[in-house]
Structure 1
Amino acid sequence: MDAVLNPGAADRPVVQAKTPPAARQGAEPFAACPQFFAGGMSPVLHFQPLQRPLCFEAFAILHSGQTKTPVFVAQKLNRRSVANANEKRTDRFFADARLPRAERAELDDYRNSGYSRGHMAPAADMPNPTAMEQSFSLANTVPQSARHNGGAWAKVEQDTRQFAERAKGNVYVITGPVYVQGSKTVGENRVRVPDHLFKLVYDEAGHRAWAHWHANRDDAQAGPPISYPELVQRTGIEFLPGVGL
């Protein structure tokens, strides 16, 4: 497999097979919104500059000022939240003012780029009007192939909601981009275009996890999920440090 960049690292290649998961350094960065993480503990990854935690109504984001995209976006779904997720879609994207201008994507970066503004926490998961509005923050998006966004990836999102609707308890979902060395950028702010996207699903009641791993291409097809250890190996991120998998 090609050398893959840690989702938060814009320039430093990491060969995943030789990269052990990171250890937590310092305090829990998402102390203001631990509810989105299994066991109240957020993913542990190798430190990169310009990473900022952001808490929202229905999800949390670790944002990279290098890539101008999320490193990951975390959600907690369950039967009740899915039942409430019937909000009217707003489609009002906006640059997130909590991020310094030099670290964020702007609306013009996506205009005529050839890519969709792909949600990492899907709008269709949002349980109330505030959450729906917040999901259109560009901090929650990546440049995504339009066909993939509306096709194979939309099916993964739908299947995840359906699983959460049937699950006996909470389902924790972590979604994010992965880059290879030399990946493309769009716009004046050089927003990085992911080469792959992942969606990790952790079923708390069943104590099991799996991940979807898709190429960010028009012709991407849904394949079988990969295991949690395989996702950790590919990314170098310990996504579920609080559950003992």
Structure 2
Amino acid sequence: MMRVLKLLSALLLLSPLPPGFSHVMNQFSDVPHCDGFFLDGITPDFPGILVNGIIQHQNRYKPICQFFNNTYRFATLYDTTNRIPVFSAYTFTGTGGRGRPRNQRWMIEPQLNVGDSKSMKTDPGKDLYELQAGNMDYNNSITINGVNRGHLFPSSHAPDEDTKRSTFTLTNIVPQAVTFNGGSWNKMENKVRDILQNQCIDNNDMIKAHVVTGAVPSVNNKLNKRVNIPSHMWTAYCCYNNNLKRWMSEAHWGENKQNSSTTNHTLAELYSWLGKQHNGVVKVFSDLCPTGVSTIPATTNPNTASTLLPPKAQNLFFFHTIIMVTMSTIQLV
């Protein structure tokens, strides 16, 4: 038995993995590393959707731990009814330039279709998908609806080329009003990027911030009669500022319409506003984050607040998880 286990372990370590590969799970905690994209390992609370880490309607809402080119990149909670993400969560660790990756095509998540492959794949734009949006849904979207593809995790916030590419999955995209996407929302993304780059420095002099960006579904406004066009978009960040010895947070939101403005707010204001949209108590970050003001005195070691592992450790953890699952399977057999 030990020889079999050693052989399987070696094969797993040597076998090449597909460049795009994501876990569609029942809970974010099903892939332990996915918790690392949430501050303190605590996922947001949205009534009727996600509460205390538990998906409330598992047939509708799908947690995705986005894995691309052998590394976990970010987390997404996807609404298969509205065919848009509820939110995407990521850890900002600096930027790898502002430009869009060359020759990058849009991708879909095949695993959302029952029995399909786990590997992300390029969408040729010839099919409509039951549980997610596809390129075909966006045909003539600017002319007919005045919307284009809007990132939740923007590629301009990604630390390297591969992470930039991973954001071009349509599970990270909502139909966004063109002039809102390229106007005030884009300016806000650039402003926040500069703040995170210059102020979110931890005790190890490393850039680190947690960001969650989401969309509020409209009542009945759809793209191609299938994909919900959100009424609003929102985003929030939380990080530790070693110079000030404080935790920092800020939120922004705007109406998803042409030439809409994007306004900045405290977390408390965001929670109150989102609570009205979702008819209940909403919380995006753990209690480490200041809610009523932009900063509060730190009471927890900022270097242990998040369980995010560095890229090399992520890879090792992934292989270790595969090996443990394989061992369990063999023991069951």
State the TM-score bracket (shorter-chain normalisation).
0.7 to 0.9
What is the aligned partner in structure 2 of residue 156 from structure 1? 188
Q: Looking at secondary structure, tell me which structure has more helix per residue.
A: 2
Contact 2:184 2:261 in 1 (8 A): yes
CA distance in 1, matches of 2:182, 2:132: 24
Say what the alpha-carbon RMSD is for the aligned residues: 2.1
User: What CA deviation, in whole Å up to 9, does each residue of 1:62-101 have, x standing for no partner?
Assistant: 11111111111111113xx22x345652441122212224
Contact 1:93 1:137 in 2 (8 A): yes
Match of 1:132 among 129, 139, 164: 164
CA distance in 1, matches of 2:248, 2:211: 12
The aligned runs of 1:12-27 (5 Å cut-off) are none
CA distance in 2, matches of 1:150, 1:105: 21
CA distance in 1, matches of 2:269, 2:30: 25
What is the aligned partner in structure 1 of residue 268 from structure 2? 229
In structure 2, runs of 5+ residues without a counterpart are: 1-26, 50-56, 67-71, 114-128, 203-207, 276-281, 291-333
CA distance in 2, matches of 1:30, 1:37: 13
The structure showing larger relative contact order (alpha-carbon pairs under 8 Å, at least 6 residues apart) is 1
Contact 1:29 1:53 in 2 (8 A): no
Contact 1:87 1:129 in 2 (8 A): no
Contact 2:92 2:196 in 1 (8 A): yes
Match of 1:110 among 138, 141, 149: 138
Contact 1:69 1:105 in 2 (8 A): yes
Match of 1:98 among 101, 107, 111: 111
CA distance in 1, matches of 2:110, 2:161: 19
In structure 1, runs of 5+ residues without a counterpart are: 1-25
CA distance in 1, matches of 2:258, 2:75: 28
Contact 2:46 2:283 in 1 (8 A): yes
The aligned runs of 1:69-84 (5 Å cut-off) are 69-78=84-93, 81-82=94-95, 84=96
Greater gyration radius = 2
Deviation at 1:164, TM superposition (A): 1.1
CA distance in 2, matches of 1:116, 1:62: 21
Match of 1:51 among 61, 65, 68: 61
Match of 1:123 among 155, 163, 182: 155
CA distance in 1, matches of 2:100, 2:261: 28
Please say which of residues 144-153 and 34-43 is displaced more in the overlay: 34-43
Contact 1:87 1:127 in 2 (8 A): no
**TM-score, length of structure 2 as denominator length:** 0.59
Match of 2:224 among 187, 203, 222: 187
Percent identity of equivalent pairs: 25
CA distance in 1, matches of 2:64, 2:107: 15
What is the aligned partner in structure 2 of residue 22 from structure 1? none
Indicate whether 1:202 and 2:238 are aligned. Answer: yes
**TM-score, length of structure 1 as denominator length:** 0.79
The number of residue pairs the alignment matches comes to: 214
